[in-house]
Amino acid sequence: MYHELTVWSRGIIMDKEARDVSSCIAAAARALGYQADNVSDYVDDPDRTNCLVRRYARFGDSPIVDRFVYENPHPDWVVLVEETIIKAVNFLRGTPDRTGVVVVNSIRDPGYLLKFLPDEMRAKIAKFVVVDAVGLAEQRGRSPWMFVRNLSELALDRMSTEGAEERLAIGMGIAAPLIGALTAATGVLPLEAVADQVADEDAMMRGAARHLVVDFTAADGAAAGPAPRHRPAGRAGPGHRRAGRAGPRHRPAGRAGPGHRRAGRAGQTGPRHPRRPHRVRRLIRSEEASCPSAVPASHRTCSCRSPA
């Protein structure tokens, strides 16, 4: 048994949330006797605000031989701390088909989010999980996001990057529901063992109990795609007209069918006299206006002659 977890986030303002998810999963696996690694981001330049950054964890029941590889080559567990990342990058690169478990922090319907994934990425997903981590986390003021904290807390967080000891509690805020949803959807690590590593255990359990799952491995294939689109009330299916249009369509009063003239032109018989196109009429007028007798013959644009 071997699993690779990659947590996608954005630099500085959401770095701690991603770091807490990977740290708690690795610590829980290590406490259960697995071989585990928790790797900081040395690839994506995480000191840039809002840039895409990653945190890694890997664990298994055999020794990990690639401890100095700072990226997960075949991630089968993927967590997106922020929902717009779903259309920003191929976060399933290297994932074998139908093995990936993707957890997204969002309040949107899973079917809507799956629209942003191409077929080659959807083919790699086994379970697609959506959890409202912001709503389930402990609120700090108006929002549990990292960027609403004061500068002193942000400074302490920045001192805990790149492998340094954490100065703040691990598993607070948005990270707790994300850890709960990931643990419940994968079913590999016991919830109780993971909860021992999370500071906000209540928020973690809320995430474990309240999340949506699209199972792509269902035998009947009913959940192998996004949720079906529902038509708004009052809209019928294809091939049907709206209520009140059961019969043939009627033209408004005063409009006859094709091949007939409008009312008031019945007395006109025979074809209408053709009119010159508007562009030709403008050209003729411009040529007539440009031919006064004072203009030299070499500059005239028509065949008129000056008076003798």
Task: Specify the CATH architecture of the domain 2-215.
Answer: 3-Layer(aba) Sandwich (3.40)
Domain boundaries, the chain: 2-215
Q: For residues 18 and 55, is the Cβ–Cβ distance under 8 A?
A: yes
Element (H, E) at 8: strand 2-10
Choose between 130 and 242: higher pLDDT. Answer: 130
Strands (E), 46-204: 52-60, 77-80, 100-105, 125-131
Average pLDDT of the segment spanning 175-197: 97
pLDDT of the residue at 157: 64
Average pLDDT of the segment spanning 42-66: 85
Choose between 113 and 66: higher pLDDT. Answer: 113
Residue 25, Cβ neighbours under 10 Å: how many?
29
pLDDT, one tens digit per residue, over 207-226 is: 999 999 999 998 434 443 43
Q: Count the helices and strands in the chain (H runs, E runs).
A: 9, 7
pLDDT of the residue at 269: 52
pLDDT of the residue at 223: 41
pLDDT of the residue at 104: 98
Kindly give the residue spans of alpha helices, DSSP state H, lying in the chain: 15-31, 110-114, 119-122, 133-136, 151-158, 175-186, 191-195, 201-209, 278-289
**Average confidence score pLDDT of the chain:** 76
pLDDT of the residue at 144: 60
Strands (E), 171-263: 212-215
pLDDT of the residue at 307: 46
The packing angle between helices 175-186 and 15-31, to 10°, is 40
pLDDT, one tens digit per residue, over 258-286 is: 554 544 444 555 555 455 555 545 554 55
pLDDT of the residue at 162: 58
Cα separation, 107 vs 178, whole angstroms? 13
Q: Is the pTM of this model over 0.75?
A: no
Q: What angle do CA 269, 272, 274 make, to 5 degrees?
A: 165
When pLDDT is cut at 50, 70 and 90, the band that residue 169 belongs to is confident
Cα separation, 155 vs 146, whole angstroms? 12
Q: For residues 31 and 21, is the Cβ–Cβ distance under 8 A?
A: no
